[in-house]
Amino acid sequence: MINFILNDKLISTDSPQGMTLLDFVRYEKNLTGTKIGCREGDCGACTVLIGELTDGKMEYLSVTSCITPLGNVNGKHVVSIEGLNMSELTPVQQAMVDEAGTQCGFCTVGFVVSFSGLCLSNKAISYEDVISGIDGNICRCTGYKSIERAGERIYNNLKNKDLTNPVKWLVEQHFIPEYFASIPERIKKLEVSTKITEGKIIVGGGTDLYVQKHDEMEEAEINFVSNNKELKGIHIDGKFCTIGAAATVTELLESEELKKVFPNLRKHLKLISSTQIRNIGTIGGNFVNASPIGDLTVFFIALNSSVVLKNKANNERTILLKDLYKGYKNLDKNADEYISRLQFTITDSSTYFNFEKVSKRTHLDIASVNTGISIKIEENKITEINLSAGGVGPIPLYLKNTCVFLKGKTLEMKTITSAMEIIQTEIAPISDARGTEEYKRLLLRQLFFAHFLELFPATFKEEVIV
Ligand SMILES: Cc1cc2nc3c(=O)[nH]c(=O)nc-3n(C[C@H](O)[C@H](O)[C@H](O)COP(=O)(O)OP(=O)(O)OC[C@H]3O[C@@H](n4cnc5c(N)ncnc54)[C@H](O)[C@@H]3O)c2cc1C
Ligand code: FES
Ligand code: FES
């Protein structure tokens, strides 16, 4: 039985937990405002909000309902466009009208819901936040400038938002209906079980599984780990960081502790998928999906991270993330094991980290090639280095030979150009839709150099790649 609140209504349903939220909303509840576009998380037409009670406050995030399993909304508040509509247009809807932000209208619901999710944020938001908040919504006919202008109006309307009680303020300003004020008390009364049970498919956000095995998932026996407290949380204890496997990309992005360790965290993680996907996609899902271009995998291999695998009998073993991958989609993981958490040592002030990704478009696209580096420099010598690369082999690669070569060398152009040659001997890219073998070899070469330009501009700015 799944218990949640859909707009203003309490839902207790025996519908299959694996069915998509989109199908439930449209076909079981006849709320047809939520549209079906791609069914792959790409277009944003199916965007709804999911609200969760955290530290006494509701936090709303936009998600793509077409790849969100019903089981993941257990104990939460789901808001479709019908739950935002009132007898008059909201300021968000009015802004879209005033700026001619809609033409055929197919995408419009998704944009309005995404914008409304930003309005519900408990934090102050900037104009950039408003625009990046619609990075997972595609419009094929209006043109984005009018939608951006609508975003600017919405941003201006929110300037005086009362952050001490945003819901009260938003109700008073007619952004959301009055029933939102009653949601926290109603959510508290919902009963939710998140125990990991035996012999079932583990689902994090479902953003890989529901694209790859869409038809099989509805009737599948599923363990929904995204609500499991044991698999949540980001903790830094002295020099050690532990991240629960069910942490989402958005949770990494928002973590104040991680931002201190990785000043460019936002820049790096915003290259991953879209707001709606980052809000639900987990690190455990990224690792176990084992895509050779998984961004989080490549990011964390470069930090020489370990993963803790746990079985149903609560036995744990810890392995390096780079050793999880034995061959294409072949993992050092037993069928009864799941990833509990990720661990890595925090870099010190003489260790530098960078992540680079090239894809056909900057946002909402998977990498052609990606790479991460952590490098420790002492007295202009490389004393420690970990280098990863994706899209250049059947698994996410740790570039071992290149690291062995670089360790102990002086940080200078000669070292870097020699290392570039070693890299080419330990990768094996194939030609596919994301580029030819030669192109990927060239890309990694350039991205490797980009690491050094980014991290040591004073040393390498005058240099030219030869
Ligand atoms: C539109 C779109 C854009 C995307 N863009 C990117 C991108 O730019 N970069 C990128 O790297 N990825 C991208 N992805 C892929 C995906 O979002 C990520 O890989 C995400 O991190 C997967 O996490 P999840 O929780 O949704 O995985 P799920 O789909 O829930 O699970 C994936 C696999 O991992 C297993 N699993 C999940 N959690 C655990 C666990 N704790 N222990 C053991 N097994 C587990 C599942 O059984 C399944 O086999 C994109 C996906 C979509 C739909
Ligand atoms: S229908 Fe396209 S993202 Fe869901
Ligand atoms: S208005 Fe037609 S797709 Fe956006």
Q: Which domain CATH number covers 253?
A: 3.30.465.10
> Could you tell me the distance, in angstroms and rounded to a whole number, from the CA of residue 73 to the centre of ligand 2?
17
User: Which protein residue's CA is at the shortest distance from atom 32 of ligand 1?
Assistant: 285
- Give pLDDT, residue 247: 98
Residues 327, 415, single domain; the answer is no
Q: Which domain CATH number covers 449?
A: 3.30.390.50
> Could you tell me the distance, in angstroms and rounded to a whole number, from the CA of residue 276 to the centre of ligand 3?
19
Q: Is the minimum distance from the CB of 143 to ligand 3 under 6 angstroms? A: no
- Give pLDDT, residue 347: 84
Q: Is the minimum distance from the CB of 139 to ligand 3 under 6 angstroms? A: yes
State pTM to two decimals.
0.96
> Could you tell me the distance, in angstroms and rounded to a whole number, from the CA of residue 36 to the centre of ligand 2?
6
> Could you tell me the distance, in angstroms and rounded to a whole number, from the CA of residue 101 to the centre of ligand 3?
9
Q: Are 74 and 9 in contact (CB under 8 A)?
A: no
Q: Is the minimum distance from the CB of 141 to ligand 3 under 6 angstroms? A: yes
Within 134-282, residue ranges assigned H as helices are 144-157, 166-172, 183-188, 209-212, 214-217, 249-254, 256-261, 265-269, 275-278
Q: Is the minimum distance from the CB of 46 to ligand 2 under 6 angstroms? A: yes
Q: Which domain CATH number covers 96?
A: 3.10.20.30
User: Does residue 196 form part of some domain?
Assistant: no
Q: Which residues contact 260 (CB under 8 A, 6 or more apart)?
A: none
User: Which protein residue's CA is at the shortest distance from atom 3 of ligand 2?
Assistant: 41
Q: Which residues contact 445 (CB under 8 A, 6 or more apart)?
A: 420, 423, 424, 465
Residues 439, 393, single domain; the answer is yes
User: Does residue 31 form part of some domain?
Assistant: yes
Residues 159, 237, single domain; the answer is no
Q: Which of 188, 218, 237 is the last residue of a domain?
A: 188
Q: Is the minimum distance from the CB of 43 to ligand 2 under 6 angstroms? A: yes
Residues 93, 211, single domain; the answer is no
- Give pLDDT, residue 192: 79
Q: Is the minimum distance from the CB of 430 to ligand 2 under 6 angstroms? A: no
Q: Is the minimum distance from the CB of 16 to ligand 1 under 6 angstroms? A: no
Q: Are 107 and 139 in contact (CB under 8 A)?
A: yes
Instruction: State which ligand 1 atom lies nearest to the alpha carbon of 333.
Output: 43
User: Does residue 266 form part of some domain?
Assistant: yes
Closest CA to 288 of 335, 255, 222, 236: 335
Six token digits for residue 109: 């619901």
Q: What string of pLDDT tens digits covers the 466 residues of the chain?
A: 899 999 999 999 999 999 999 999 999 999 999 999 999 999 999 999 999 999 889 999 999 999 999 999 999 999 999 999 999 999 999 999 999 999 999 999 999 999 999 999 999 999 999 999 999 999 999 989 999 999 999 999 999 999 999 999 999 999 999 999 999 999 999 977 666 565 589 999 999 999 999 989 999 999 999 988 899 999 999 899 999 999 999 999 999 999 999 999 999 999 999 999 999 999 999 999 999 999 999 999 999 999 999 998 999 999 999 999 999 999 999 999 999 999 999 988 899 999 999 988 777 788 999 999 999 999 999 999 999 999 999 999 999 999 999 999 999 999 999 999 999 999 999 999 889 999 999 999 999 999 999 999 998 876 665 5
- Give pLDDT, residue 379: 96
> Could you tell me the distance, in angstroms and rounded to a whole number, from the CA of residue 154 to the centre of ligand 2?
24
- Give pLDDT, residue 463: 61
Q: Is the minimum distance from the CB of 72 to ligand 1 under 6 angstroms? A: no
User: Does residue 118 form part of some domain?
Assistant: yes
Residues 173, 26, single domain; the answer is yes
- Give pLDDT, residue 199: 57
Q: Is the minimum distance from the CB of 294 to ligand 1 under 6 angstroms? A: yes
- Give pLDDT, residue 173: 97
Residues 23, 137, single domain; the answer is yes
Q: Which of 345, 360, 377 is the last residue of a domain?
A: 345
User: Does residue 194 form part of some domain?
Assistant: no
Residue 59: give the domain boundaries.
2-188
Residue 438 burial by CB count (10 A; 0-12/13-18/19+): exposed, middle or buried?
Answer: exposed
- Give pLDDT, residue 322: 98
Q: Are 4 and 75 in contact (CB under 8 A)?
A: yes
Q: Which of 164, 188, 212 is the last residue of a domain?
A: 188
Residues 417, 312, single domain; the answer is no
Instruction: State which ligand 2 atom lies nearest to the alpha carbon of 22.
Output: 4
Question: Please, how many CA atoms are within 13 Å of residue 386, restricted to the half-sphere of its CB?
Answer: 22
Q: Is the minimum distance from the CB of 206 to ligand 2 under 6 angstroms? A: no
Q: Which residues contact 193 (CB under 8 A, 6 or more apart)?
A: none
Instruction: State which ligand 3 atom lies nearest to the alpha carbon of 104.
Output: 2
Report which bound ligand comes closest to the CA of 140. Answer: 3
Instruction: State which ligand 1 atom lies nearest to the alpha carbon of 231.
Output: 41
